[in-house]
Amino acid sequence: MDGHLAAAMDVATEALLRFRPEVGSLLDELVDAEGGFAPAIVARAWLDVLTSEPQPTAAARRAVEPIAPESLRPRERAHRAAILAWSEGRLREAQAILDAWLLEDPTDLWALFAGHQLDFFLGDQASLRDRLARSLPWFPTDHPARGFLQGMFAFGLEEAGTYDRAEAVGSEALEAHPDDVWALHAVVHAHEMRARIDAGLALMARFGPFWREGNAFRVHNTWHEALFLLELGRKEEVLALFDRVIHPPGAPLVALELLDASALLWRLYLDGCPEPERFARLAEAWSRWQTKPFYCFNEVHAVMAFVGADRLDEARWLVGQLTELAAGSDPDSTTARMAREVGVPVARALVAVGEGAWEEALGLLWPIRGRLARFGGSHAQRDAFLRTALVAALEARALPAARALVAERIALREESPWAWLARARLAEATDDEAAASHAHQRARELRDRVRERLGS
């Protein structure tokens, strides 16, 4: 690789690590100006694959498939093979290819970044952590990318359940690069999982100038901010964030952003705040998004929007589409297995909620609640389905299940007002006035304490 190409790729890689939106145009220029420059072609293809959407993924396939593998260096050959496997729905195979390549070159930043995102799409908590653990020793402390890798490692530590360590490593990464939006996200997750709402909001306020604008991750991080506010019952602020950032009128049809919008409105819906107009706008966006299910974690969020907008026929149609995906004939298809094991029952449960069939919703979610990670995403994202199970148990008056789900939640998030309000609802369902009053009191105290600490 000659000097100017290497330097241009370095600029694009740095933009990637910072989630800068210009990474796409930087690579486009490189692909156009240097026809046949394989590192730029595979990098551009990765950007498309990492959308998790079928059409860009098909475009990535079209970009790399015609290149003869024997004309490529081992690095680009491995990347090409991983992209092709992913485009066929074989995410585990893509993961194995990247794992093997990273043993050859643990410093390949594009393989690390794509692999980390792939681990996320797979819900593979151990690999989210260990991929970075394997590579970090190869990056000396003064390496310009090391901080970003620590940010990724912090997210893996969080998903693997080691929250203190995640917070420490992620904070170190943020000190290195305050605009490391992924490191910020990792620490935010560590707070979210322990319902440390004041710490989460304080962190987001402190780093606000570095993440609120100018990066491709601002919608998701704003979604996290909205989750904290939701715990505090600050619904008007949540809706303002929804309308201004998460899903403003004319928002682009980006699955990973529509998904956040669905997950936020769904939480409100479960809390008895249905927001039909916002759901209608969102369902319209999902209906224009695509036609063929590919990565069912996305599609179940479309089902949420259709249910919330009372477009149940479309929700049921999408369940049918997911069932077809689940029945796929390729035994190595990860996307089919995800749909089979988790996506279809979750989607059916969401439709059952829309039909008021709470017992059915609970019956679908209860047996799979321990393996939701198999269809990807983060703990915080999948919490929407655990909340659905809990609300379904309460609505169906399935009290032993409700009691169990409330107990699990409070054991993990003792400081979550939402968890205590669920306990209050449970106590009210059994006419236990003293327990209900205590739970309401605890929720109030927790909210008051956050207000005092934040001074707002």
Q: Report residue 126 as tokens.
A: 């151990």
Span near Fe ion by CB under 5 A; candidates 252-260, 290-298, 337-345, 378-386: 378-386
Q: Report residue 332 as tokens.
A: 């190595």
Span near Fe ion by CB under 5 A; candidates 42-50, 320-328, 376-384, 442-450: 376-384
Span near Fe ion by CB under 5 A; candidates 18-26, 127-135, 159-167, 371-379: 371-379
Smallest separation (angstroms) from Fe ion to the CB of 185: 5
Smallest separation (angstroms) from Fe ion to the CB of 287: 25
- For Fe ion, the closer of residues 95 and 378 by Cβ is 378
Identify which of 252, 333, 245, 246 has the alpha carbon closest to the alpha carbon of residue 296. Answer: 333
Residue 117, CA distances (Å) to 98, 104, 124, 159, 349 in order: 12, 20, 10, 13, 27
Residues 292-321 as x/- pattern, contact with Fe ion by CB under 5 A: ------------------------------
- For Fe ion, the closer of residues 37 and 385 by Cβ is 385
- For Fe ion, the closer of residues 117 and 323 by Cβ is 117
Residue 246 near residue 260 (C-beta atoms within 8 A): yes
Looking at residue 22, the DSSP 8-state letter turns out to be T
**How many residues make contact with Fe ion (CB under 5 A)?**
1
Residue 377 Ramachandran class (φ > 0 left, ψ -120 to 50 alpha, else beta) = left
Smallest separation (angstroms) from Fe ion to the CB of 192: 8
- For Fe ion, the closer of residues 215 and 333 by Cβ is 215
- For Fe ion, the closer of residues 50 and 82 by Cβ is 50
Interacting residues of 62 by C-beta distance below 8 A, sequence separation 6+:
none
Span near Fe ion by CB under 5 A; candidates 110-118, 346-354, 374-382, 411-419: 374-382
- For Fe ion, the closer of residues 99 and 180 by Cβ is 180
| Cα atoms in the Cβ-side hemisphere of radius 13 Å centred on 269 | 26
Residues 325-354 as x/- pattern, contact with Fe ion by CB under 5 A: ------------------------------
Interacting residues of 129 by C-beta distance below 8 A, sequence separation 6+:
153, 156, 157, 159, 160
Q: Report residue 312 as tokens.
A: 């149940």
- What is the Cα–Cα distance from 447 to 20, expressed in whole angstroms? 35
- What is the Cα–Cα distance from 422 to 152, expressed in whole angstroms? 33
Among positions 70-89, residues that touch Fe ion (CB under 5 A) are: none
Residue 201 near residue 225 (C-beta atoms within 8 A): yes
Span near Fe ion by CB under 5 A; candidates 64-72, 202-210, 310-318, 373-381: 373-381
- For Fe ion, the closer of residues 361 and 380 by Cβ is 380
Smallest separation (angstroms) from Fe ion to the CB of 224: 6
Phi/psi of residue 284, each to 5°? -60, -45
- Shortest Cβ contact with Fe ion: which residue? 378
- For Fe ion, the closer of residues 27 and 263 by Cβ is 263
Smallest separation (angstroms) from Fe ion to the CB of 188: 7
- What is the Cα–Cα distance from 141 to 138, expressed in whole angstroms? 10
Q: In the complex, which residues of this chain contact Fe ion (CB under 5 A)? A: 378
